[in-house]
Each structure stands twice: as structure tokens, then as C-alpha cells.
A and B are shown apart, each in its own frame.
Chain A
Amino acid sequence: MSRLTDNIDFHGQALLLRAERQKVISGNIANADTPGFAARDFDFRAALADATRQHASHATSSGASDAAPAAHRLQATQPGHLGQSSAEGARIDSTVLRYRSVEQASIDGNGVDLDRERAAFADNAVRFEASLRFINGSVRTMLSAIRGE
């Protein structure tokens, strides 16, 4: 919308991606005993850059006129393409997921290293909370500016 909310927007996108990553890692932990399962994760930096770019392009295109003609809309011809709604800016599907390399292979073909997954899960939870705090701080700053206290 503007510079006022840009910071909140960015951290909002990061928050959505953190939630997605939390989901992927919880899937890895859930499948810690499944034969033949390979642990998966995604490149957070690339995903966030992608999401903010998508979000920004969507914001500028829809900012010109609310009812944009259908011809100006992005065409989604592949399941991996991102949609139009702003909430879809930060969306992870199976096309961006990568297999984690296996360090200690197990005999049933399961590639989940539970220690590593739990560490990634805790790390992601802390970063999720960090994003929450950044948003909270921005909101509080803005509120105090509005109130003039």
C-alpha cells in the first residue's frame, strides 16, 4: 500500500512462509518411521524473494485500478504459478520442495534425520516469533504516531 505498511507486508509474507516451512518440517517428523520417505525442505531465501516480488507486482498492478481487465491479469497455466490474491503471494507447493541430503542412511530407505528436523523445527519456530515481534513493533510504532502520545 505505502511505505507505512511495507514493513508489515514484508514480515507478513515471511510469516506465511515460516508457517509453510513449519508444515513441511512437521510432515518430515510425522514420517520419521515411514520406509522410503525422503525428508524435504525449501530454500527460504528464494521463496521469500519470490513471494515479495509476486506480492509487489500484484500490489502495483491492482493499485492502478481495482477492477483490472482480465487481459491484464497474470495467467496461471501451471499448478506452480502463483495466483492473484495477495494471500497467495507466499505459497509453497510441491514444485519448490527439495529433498534433503541423507547423512546417515537407514536400512528401510527412510531419509529423515530426526535431530536435524527437530533443530530445524525449533529454529523455524523462533524465527516465526521474531517475525511476529517485528510486526508487533511496527504496529505499535504506527499506533503511537497516530495517537501522538
Chain B
Amino acid sequence: MSLMKVFNISGGAVSAQSQRLNVVASNLANADAVAGPDGQSYKSRQVVFQTQPTPDGSAGVKVSSVVEDNAPARRVYEPAHPMADQEGYVTQSNVNVVEEMVNMISASRSYQNNVEVMNTARQLLQKTLQLGQS
């Protein structure tokens, strides 16, 4: 029964979206982190979604990789900060907080969509199991 495969597809999608949400959480948590002694600040991470085709024509989704954003780090003028350099600038992460919030909302909506798909498939399967009864 191909309705069973809906659970595989949507389950994979839910897992991929939750990983995206995880990455967003990591980015937001490190948004204000300053560079350590090595001068390397936190780099924003983004998931890459990839279609996972199956021979029977259905298309699942998976996170193929997590890539680091190579945008330049944010530099804030804070001469009193202990990590400030000679010019008085502190290097922070390159996380764009607004972008991450949008990412979070998008991931949450997609997650809900896939959960609803699974709920519908479950209801249909239940009704199929009751076929011919009563």
C-alpha cells in the first residue's frame, strides 16, 4: 500500500525540517558570540536540502550537507571590550538574525504541513482498515 510510503516521505521531511530548525537555533544562540583568541568567529550554518528519488516515482527529501556561510564577520566598535583589537573593533559572528527568524518560521510551517500530511494519511489508512465493517 503506497499510503504507508507517505509516512516515509513526510517523516523524512519532518526530520529534515527539524534539522533546519536545529541549525537555526545554533545560529541564533551564537549570533552575538565574539571571536576567540584565534580571531575566528562563529560562522552561520545553513542546511542544504536535496530530493531523494525512489524508483517508484516518489520523492523524499534529505539534508545533504550543512554548509558554512562565508560572509564577512560583523565588526562592532567597542573599545572597552576585552576582545577588542587595536582599532577598538570586536569581531562577532556573521549570523543575520532577521534571516534566521524568517528561516525559523519557514521551517516551522513546513514541519506543520508535513505533520498534517501524515495525519491525513493515518486517517485514510484507518478508514481503509475499517472497510466492509459495520
A residues contacting B by CB (< 8 A) are 15-16, 19-20, 22-24, 26-35, 37, 40, 79, 92-94, 96-97, 114, 118, 121-122, 125, 128-129, 132, 135-136, 139
- Report, nearest first, the 6 A-B pairs whose CB atoms are least far apart: A30-B13, A27-B59, A94-B57, A34-B49, A23-B2, A26-B6
- Chain B neighbourhood of A22, CB < 8 A: 2-3, 6, 120-121, 124
Q: A23-B3, A37-B51, A121-B120 are in contact. Are A30 and B132 (CB under 8 A)?
A: no
B88 interfacial by beta-carbon distance below 8 Å: no
State the main secondary structure of chain B at its contact with A. Answer: helix
Task: Say yes or no: A94 contacts B10, CB within 8 Å.
Answer: no
Task: Say yes or no: B121 contacts A26, CB within 8 Å.
Answer: yes
B78 to A: closest C-beta gap in Å: 36
B114 interfacial by beta-carbon distance below 8 Å: yes
Task: Say yes or no: A136 contacts B131, CB within 8 Å.
Answer: yes
